[in-house]
């Protein structure tokens, strides 16, 4: 990068990365962007069936997603999810489609892809554009095909916490050459020729150093997934037999997974609440967090113009899961230490309840 004196503006490392990602996702076009958020904003802006309409999305997902729709000039419209896959429920979406609908933004979950076929069918019959937030679907497959080739486009992140780490960054995959061209233009201020713009674009270019980091990470992708899988198995072994706890499985159904998360489910017969357990974990310096909680329609930043629908499955699941510490900084054996902590919580629940209530009413 330094020898070439080329730091940004669609440099050779960005183009190399795009080509490698085309192979990984088995798609003809990849457009690298500065982060997934900007990729999603540009896509929504370009594809919205009508400006100012509704972007259908789940409320059981990343907290920033509705903000991105608003940056694209759209209104979030939340729909419910499927209880088993945690992915957007096609029936809930079908019921929400109206003249106001601008697009469907379906989100792949780490433990399950979306109901891709159902959404592609719904998009074809309703004429509503379909895109996927595939940030947690990197390296995964749907019906044997890599995620990345579905809908009009899919968006991935290269953030440091994601499977492919470019420090920051993101990319859009698509089978549509015309759309890829528009996205390339839009990520570069909308410029088509020296100083001439074809619309309101922005600066969403990925620079060379982030592309270099992502390329280095791509080289080690298989090893990364293997280590994720080993941690997931170590967690599964360690938590086996603790009454009142379960975890989200990666189904053994021939699909490929990235094993990014270990999601612990706190059942009603565990003697502490999910939030109490998280507080205890945090007190022991374990980087655990409530998973997708509160759901986005309950967020304090949910604007007044977004109606608060009944989302019973979302509401229930948002109270149950803990995203347990994962990633390369987890030391071998940490999974067992964390499982022991849960056994301790189970064994000392009355004392823990007493301590919590004494703190509430000192």
Ligand X SMILES: Cc1ncc(COP(=O)(O)O)c(C=O)c1O
Cβ proximity to ligand X, 107 vs 131, nearer residue: 107
Under the phi-then-psi rule, with left for phi > 0, alpha for psi from -120 to 50, and beta for the rest, what region is 361? beta
CB of 51 to ligand X, least distance (A): 22
Cβ proximity to ligand X, 85 vs 197, nearer residue: 85
CB of 25 to ligand X, least distance (A): 16
CB of 35 to ligand X, least distance (A): 4
CB of 346 to ligand X, least distance (A): 31
Cβ proximity to ligand X, 107 vs 326, nearer residue: 107
Cβ proximity to ligand X, 6 vs 289, nearer residue: 289
Say how far apart CA 361 and CA 276 lie, in whole Å.
16
CA angle 209/212/216 to nearest 5° reads: 145
Q: What value does the CA radius of gyration of the chain take, rounded to a whole number of Å?
A: 22
CB of 136 to ligand X, least distance (A): 6
CB of 62 to ligand X, least distance (A): 4
Phi and psi of 114, rounded to 5°? -65, 175
Say how far apart CA 354 and CA 343 lie, in whole Å.
18
Cβ proximity to ligand X, 159 vs 274, nearer residue: 159
Cβ proximity to ligand X, 54 vs 154, nearer residue: 154
Nearest to 89 by CA among 56, 55, 131, 133: 56
b/e map 330-361, b = 16+ CB within 10 Å: beeebbeebbebbeebbeeeeebeeeeeeeee
Strand partners, 88: 81
CB of 161 to ligand X, least distance (A): 7
What's the number of CA atoms in the CB half-sphere (13 Å) around residue 43? Answer: 33
Tell the burial category of 153 from Cβ atoms under 10 Å away from its Cβ (0-12, 13-18, 19+). buried
CB of 158 to ligand X, least distance (A): 7
- Around Cβ 95, how many Cβ atoms within 10 Å? 12
3-class DSSP assignment, residue 138 = coil
Which residues, 6+ apart, have CB-to-CB distance to 175 below 8 Å? 27, 28, 29, 149
Binding residues vs ligand X (CB under 6 A)? 35-37, 61-62, 64-65, 107, 133, 135-136, 157, 159, 170
CB of 109 to ligand X, least distance (A): 9
Say how far apart CA 78 and CA 242 lie, in whole Å.
35
Cβ proximity to ligand X, 67 vs 353, nearer residue: 67
Cβ proximity to ligand X, 138 vs 277, nearer residue: 138
Cβ proximity to ligand X, 114 vs 280, nearer residue: 114
- Residue 331, token pair as written in the block: 């030391």
């Amino acid at each position: 990068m330094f020898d070439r004196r080329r730091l940004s503006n669609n440099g050779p490392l960005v183009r190399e990365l795009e080509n490698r990602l085309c192979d990984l996702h088995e798609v003809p076009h990849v457009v690298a962007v500065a982060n997934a958020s900007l990729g999603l904003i540009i896509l929504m802006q370009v594809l919205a069936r009508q400006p100012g309409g509704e972007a259908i999305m789940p409320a059981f997902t990343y907290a920033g997603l509705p903000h991105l729709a608003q940056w694209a000039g759209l209104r979030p419209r939340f729909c419910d999810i499927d209880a088993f896959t945690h992915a957007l429920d096609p029936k809930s979406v079908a019921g929400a489609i109206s003249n106001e609908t601008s697009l469907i933004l379906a989100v792949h979950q780490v433990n399950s892809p979306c109901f891709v076929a159902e959404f592609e069918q719904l998009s074809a019959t309703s004429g509503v554009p379909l895109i996927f937030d595939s940030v947690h679907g990197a390296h995964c497959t749907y019906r044997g095909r890599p995620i990345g080739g579905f809908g009009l486009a899919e968006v991935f992140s290269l953030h440091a916490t994601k499977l492919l780490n470019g420090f920051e960054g993101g990319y859009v995959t698509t089978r549509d050459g015309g759309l890829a061209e528009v996205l390339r233009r839009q990520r570069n201020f909308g410029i088509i020729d020296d100083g001439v713009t074809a619309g309101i674009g922005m600066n969403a270019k990925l620079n060379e150093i982030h592309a270099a980091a992502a390329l280095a990470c791509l080289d080690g992708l298989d090893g990364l997934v293997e280590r994720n899988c080993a941690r997931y198995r170590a967690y599964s072994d360690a938590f086996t037999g603790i009454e009142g706890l379960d975890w989200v499985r990666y189904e053994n159904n021939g699909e490929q997974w990235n094993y990014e998360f270990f999601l612990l489910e706190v059942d009603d017969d565990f003697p502490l609440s999910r939030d109490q357990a998280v507080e205890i974990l945090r007190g022991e310096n374990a980087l655990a967090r409530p998973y997708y909680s509160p759901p986005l329609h309950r967020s304090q930043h949910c604007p007044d113009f977004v109606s608060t629908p009944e989302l019973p499955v979302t509401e229930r699941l948002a109270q149950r899961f803990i995203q347990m510490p994962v990633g390369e900084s987890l030391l071998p054996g940490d999974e067992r230490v964390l499982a022991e902590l849960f056994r301790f919580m189970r064994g000392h629940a009355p004392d823990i309840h007493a301590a919590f209530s004494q703190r509430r009413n000192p």
